[in-house]
Structure 1
Amino acid sequence: MSAATGPALTRRARTGAPQAVQVADAWHLWKNVGEAVEKTVAAHCTCVRAVFEKPPTPGPTTAPTGDDGPVAASIGTLDVCGRERRLVVRTRGRFALVQGLLREGASLESICHQLQLDRSTVRRFGRATCIDELLVKAVNRSTILDAYRPHLHQRWSEGCHDTAQLHREITAFGFPGGIQTVRRYLRNFTPSVPVPAPRPAPRPRRVVRWIMTNPDNLPDGDTLSLKEIRAGCPELDAVTDHVATSPR
């Protein structure tokens, strides 16, 4: 008599011993789980590609603060890169030095000599009750570049860091100043950080291996990649949870 296998064997077992309880061994159970994971990963490979094509999200930036407390972030105090403008930094430094020397009992004449500043400047910094009082006047001071700053900021953000080119562009709009004025204004700007190229998406078999592997045995890099995938695909997140609770 030929040996019965597969479904035929199952039917015969049910007929011959209907009271028996069918028991599946752990290996076959785990194999079935793996096959289900493979199908799910294959069905959601576009989700995996989308996760790895997405550019990284920049972290939050905070406005710089000084010893006299934070200055409200504004287009007046910060440059296009989010840093304090050079004028603001210089004003802070001079205010701290003048106020410190005055507290030590130095005269206006000696402060002028030590800091190489004229008397009117030292008097202005000495009479100020707080740094904000000086900054408001400093950042709101009008210049011939005021009308052209939005264009310079936009073009810089777009990747144009050629001072001569930027000067030609705003000159065409009516800017009357020379290139040195533009160069001084852009001096503290830094080139934009290039966006990293998309990472190659892992092959489906590799994703299946990450899901099927005990999390304690996954390298840190693979753990982070799987975490990204789970965040970007609810279905793969659910199947990973299911695997984690399945007997191994």
Structure 2
Amino acid sequence: MRHQSDLAVISRDHGGEYASAAREGASQAIQCADRFHIVKNLTEAIQVLLARCQAEILAEKKQRASGSDEQKTPVISIEEWRPPEPAYVEKVRLARRAGRYAHYQQVVESRQQGMKPQAIAQQLGQSVRTMQRWLAAGTFPETKKRRKRQSSFDVFAPYVLKRWQEGERNGLALWREIKAQGYTGTANGVYRHLETLKQAEVRASINPERIQKYSVNTAIWLFMRDPQKLDEIEREDLVAFCQASAPL
């Protein structure tokens, strides 16, 4: 075999013959696995991890279901984990609530005086359907909290939560760790999410039905394929796995 002195790197499979030939023909070159075998090795490693994590996820779900501990600290799901509401937003929200509550009190008092919903609605400038709904509820109807918008932090939330539970409280350090993993947000965004952890407990809400429908051999492709090529349901399933398990 002719010596190849100009080669710096040799990409090869795992065959011993290829390794021997590379050492003999280009001893100065660095040998590395080819692309196919790197992906193959990664796939096999994730399959092992998936099998372990799926078992842990379901076991934790059963343990939580059987537990009866009283929770004094507010608990929110990791899907709803968001920064605390800014003071000016809270002020506006509470002002609007006060106005709605005053209207509700008028509705109740008018009804007790014998007024019909149509007359009450006309008096307060509200729709009849709203009046009927308020009266049927029997209590002041709180507005539903707005659905949380997706953010670049969400995919890294399980990791940050895990590090927080391990005792890491340095926001800058956590930002640097997830930035190295691909996080594109600012350090301030991480700080704001950590403020929520000081006020409430964040837990990964587990959807066992969503996870159980996958075998290890099918779930692996959620992790190995380009996320942009997953359909909407597959992306939601991938998020469900990641939210339930920080290692995943």
Q: TM-score, normalised by structure 2?
A: 0.36
Bigger Rg, structure 1 or 2: 1
Q: TM-score, normalised by structure 1?
A: 0.36
Instruction: Select the structure with the greater relative contact order (CA < 8 A; seq sep ≥ 6).
Output: 1
Structure with more of its chain in strand, by fraction: 2
